[in-house]
Structures are given as structure tokens and as C-alpha cells.
Amino acid sequence: MTYMEKYESWLKDDSVLPEFKAELKAITDEKEIEDRFYQDLEFGTAGLRGVLGAGTNRMNEHTVGKATEGLARYIAETFPGSPSCAIAYDSRIKSDTFAKTAALILAAHGVKAYLFESLRPVPMLSYAVRYLKADAGIVITASHNPKQYNGYKVYGAYGGQLTDEAADIVLDKIAEVASFGDVKSISEEEAVEKGLLVYIGEDVDKSYIDSIKTVTVKKDLVRESAPELQIIYTPLHGSGNVPVRRVLRELGYTNVHIVKEQEAPDGNFPTAPYPNPENPSVFTLALEMAKEVKPDIIFGTDPDCDRIGVVVTEKDGGSRVLTGNQTGMLLTYYLLNALKEEGRLPSNGVVIKTIVSTESVRKIASSYGVELMDVLTGFKYIGEKIEEFKATKEKTFIFGFEESFGYLAGDFVRDKDAVVASMLVCEMALYYKKKGMTLYDALMEVYEKYGYFNEAIVSFTLEGKDGQDKIRKCIEYMRDNTLTEVDGVRTLSKEDYKLREKTDLLTGVKEEITLPSSNVIKYTLEDDSWFVVRPSGTEPKMKAYVAVTGKDLDDSRNKLEAFKKAVVDAVNKGFE
């Protein structure tokens, strides 16, 4: 069906809501119609995500309904008996509506829907799936995207995001839903009466918070000295406000100062149009507060509270938001060192990172006799490994992270968790404060000990059908054309994760990549620098991840800028 045929079918379909028909009829630009209908929203690294509005390529009650109809059929067929699904949502526009829509569709299929009574972080959904022994989970969120976005993430019975095989089956089920009129639903009253809609809250909340507190490493330090730490926290109008403050309060952190203008949940994000803790501008209000409070630590969580950004004060008094790699490096070093000091470092311990995250932690882990494992981009792959190790007992999971500000410790959640990370960042800051050090001092210590690693991401934003075509063309160009050097430095290897092969560019020898197939290409160079190119799974972007190592901080920064420019030039050839 062409995009115009899809457009016409929406206008003729009696099950399409009148407000969406009116919205579509008001469109005068055919390019806008094409963008709304040229594709259906697809599962990426984190499920469905798109702009709110009418159309198959938009987030709305109908696309959510169709996705849930397919998921409900999958759950009912795969888990006969008394199947169930947990549902959570964040502060975004229509998140509560989409959550209720999904719950009532599930109930119509005899799938018990456990729905949180109010907004909750993504990791609490992961926890709830495991706690309630549900067969699946749904969370309505678009993470850190601007206000016009929302999304729909699906979780498996083990609490992690659906893996590729299960996601493909669900997609097939969704594709079988020919019309929105085929989406079954029942009323809230009927669902509650039949016990197919159950609202959840404090029981799950308390168990989750109690589990997080067990991850504390330096328990005596926290018990005795937590009130000494001055903290500024911003939830960025999202779902982290209540759980983050609760876990810190219960651990004794009494000096927690909240950025009031960003405290209340608000899907319009009035003070942070791009509510991403990677973006330094979201901390403007926190830094204003810092002039009065004089904090030891400033941090913020994104709207669905699975990512955390940390601000440190440099030697010259300036403030800097740590990169996701720097926070991951610091937490890895702190956790391994603290566990060793406490005599609790497991002999079969493992730290897990994604293939686009800093290599610095490989050296850190090795120095503590801990294995460092790589997985594909997407925290679901870290969740898979945690589940695997819990079953086999072969390894003990210590910490997992990805460069995009996602971190996890503990084995009770299967997704990145900024509530856990908030607690660990505060414990780490307290530990260094008692040693007379700031987190910036600690960062310099890690650099001096393990090397001046430096990384960055370059995003190429290309929206609409034309943009997607250009991204596909570019990645194929990078696949078909092999670079022999970048910025005058010889390339040593090329890894094509779609073909699942690594080529030694000096000998031509190929070896198999044992990770699942993914549309990713990676080069490693003679000076240990590397870069990766991949299309984003959740945004209209292609991303280039670049990494270097320098003799000192300035050298690494200079090398990174030159290398980044050379990589951008190489990628741009694919867009020509």
C-alpha cells in the first residue's frame, strides 16, 4: 500500500478517531502526508518511538492499539493459562492515556494487566515484571526526546526489553492486524470487575527501593556520613523525583536540594525543551542553585529516569557535565575498588559495556582481575547477559553501562536504572569527599592511572523517508568501501556486525564476530583510536562514535577533535 492509500484508508476507517481524521484533512503539504504514512513505526533498540499525531508513522491511540493487539495475541498464545503483563508510564503527553489503552486491550484478550497507579521510572517496570512474575511488560515513554515524541517499549518475562527473536514474532503478530477495527478492547469497569486490570503501587515500590539499598557497597560510610553530602538533584520534569529522593532519604542523605522549577512532572518540559542529561543546558537552573548551596554533587535524571547526568566542578571553578563514558569509567573504578576494600570483589566478576563505550574500563577491570565483556548497543543485551549469568552461575555481574548515560548495578532489574545510579553516584561522591577529593579529582586519578581516553559522538540528523534512504545509502557505502587510513593513521581492522565478521586489514584474515547481527561498522587504528558508525534505532539519525587516547588531557582533546573531523569527512562521502 502506498502512503497515499494508507492516508485514504485512515480517512475511510470508521474506527479511526474523528480528531485524527480532522487533523489529516487539514494537511496541505503532500510531503507531510508521506512522512506520516510512508512506514509503520518499527521496533528499534528500544521499541516504538515517534512524534505524536495521526498516521502510521506517528504515536497515537491507534498505533499503540495495533501494537498492543499484536502483543496481546503473542502473550495469550505463548503463555496459556493466566497470562499477565505489567505496565508503567512516564510524564510525557498522552503517556497515561496510552498506558490505559494498552491495559484494556490486554484485558480483552484475557491477559491480566498490572498497571501502575501513577507515573514510574522505566527500571521500576522491569522490576515489576519480575516481582509480579508477569509474562511481559510495557512502558510508555520516549526517554529523553523532545516533548513532541512518545514511545512504547516492550519487555520480556525476565524483565529485559524484548530480544530480537521475540520482537520479530511480535512484529509479525502486529502485521496480522489488518484494521484498527480488529483491535479488541473492553471498558475499565469490566476489566476491573473480571480481575483483568489491577492497579499496583506501594508494595512494588517498597520492594524495589529496598532492593536498591542492598547495592550500597560502603554501608558503614553511608550510615555514618550520608548527612555530610550536599546534593543538588533535578528530575527534569520526569518520573525520577519520588523514587530517587526516597532511596536517598532512607539511606540518610538529608541534604538533598531539588531544582524546584524542574520538580513537577510535565510532558511539555517548560525549562528543558530537550530533556536529556547529556545536554549541559538542562543544568542551568541547578548551577544557579549551586551558587547558594555549594554542593558536593549535582546530577539529573531524564524523564523516564533510566539515564543520569553528573556535573563536576573543575580546578578552575568551572562546571562540566561528565560524558556518559566518564561517569561509567568513574563508577567502574569506584565499585571495583570499594568491593575490593570491603573484601567482596567476586573472583568471577564481570563488567559489561556496549561496543560503542569507552575502552578505558577494559584496563580498569583487568587491574582488578575482573572480566570486561562487550555487547551490542542497546541495554537489552546487557540484561540478557545478567539473566544468563544468574541461571548458569558462571559469572557474577558487577556493573553494566553504555556511553549514552545508562548504568546498572544489582541483579533485580534488567535495564539501565538512574535510581540505582543516583544512589551510587552519591555514595561515590561521599567516599571521595571523606578522602578530601572531588569527583573531578577522582576522574584525574583514573586518567593518570589508566590513560587519557577521550570519546565523542557525532550525530547526522536526517528526517523523513529521504533521510532514512540517505542513512541506508551511507551505511552501505561504508560497508562496501574499506578505509586504509584515517587522518594519516593506518587502519588495522574493520568489523562488520551485520555480516558478523572482523577483517584484519594487514593480512586480510577474517574471523567471526559472535554477537548477533546488527547494522554496525567499526574501525580500529594503529594508534588505538577507533570509530563506529550505526543508524540510531530510535531517532532519525546516523551516529558516529569516535575514540582516542592521548599523552595527557590536552593531547587527548586535540587528537579527538582532529580525529572527529576526519571521521566526519569519511562518513560524509557516503552521503554524496
Model confidence pLDDT, tens digit, residues 237-296: 999 999 999 999 999 999 999 999 999 999 999 999 999 999 999 999 999 999 999 999
Q: State the SS3 of 255-322.
A: CEEECHHHCCCCCCCCCCCCCCCCCHHHHHHHHHHHHHHCCCEEEEECCCCCCEEEEEECCCCCEEEC
Higher pLDDT among residues 401 and 466, named by residue: 401
pLDDT of residue 43: 62
CA-to-CA distance for 166 and 172, rounded, in angstroms? Answer: 10
CA-to-CA distance for 91 and 102, rounded, in angstroms? Answer: 17
pLDDT of residue 287: 97
pLDDT > 90? residue 540:
no
For the record, the C-alpha cell of 197 comes out as: 486490570
Angstrom CA distances, 165 to 172, 388, 555, stand at: 11, 16, 44
Length of the chain: 576
pLDDT > 80? residue 47:
no
For the record, the C-alpha cell of 311 comes out as: 556535573
133: left (phi > 0), else alpha (psi -120 to 50), else beta? Answer: left
CA-to-CA distance for 141 and 219, rounded, in angstroms? Answer: 34
Model confidence pLDDT, tens digit, residues 270-286: 999 999 999 999 999 99
Model confidence pLDDT, tens digit, residues 115-162: 999 999 999 999 999 999 999 999 999 988 899 999 999 999 999 998
pLDDT band, very low/low/confident/very high, at 168 (cuts 50, 70, 90): confident
Q: What is the DSSP letter of 515?
A: S
CA-to-CA distance for 536 and 532, rounded, in angstroms? Answer: 12
Whether the CB-CB separation of 415 and 161 falls below 8 Å is answered with yes
Q: Is 357 a catalytic residue?
A: no
Which entry of 84, 91, 143, 239 is annotated as an active-site residue?
143
| Mean pLDDT to the nearest integer, 36-46 | 76
Tell me the residue type at 29.
Answer: D
Model confidence pLDDT, tens digit, residues 212-240: 999 999 999 999 999 999 999 999 999 99
CA-to-CA distance for 367 and 352, rounded, in angstroms? Answer: 16
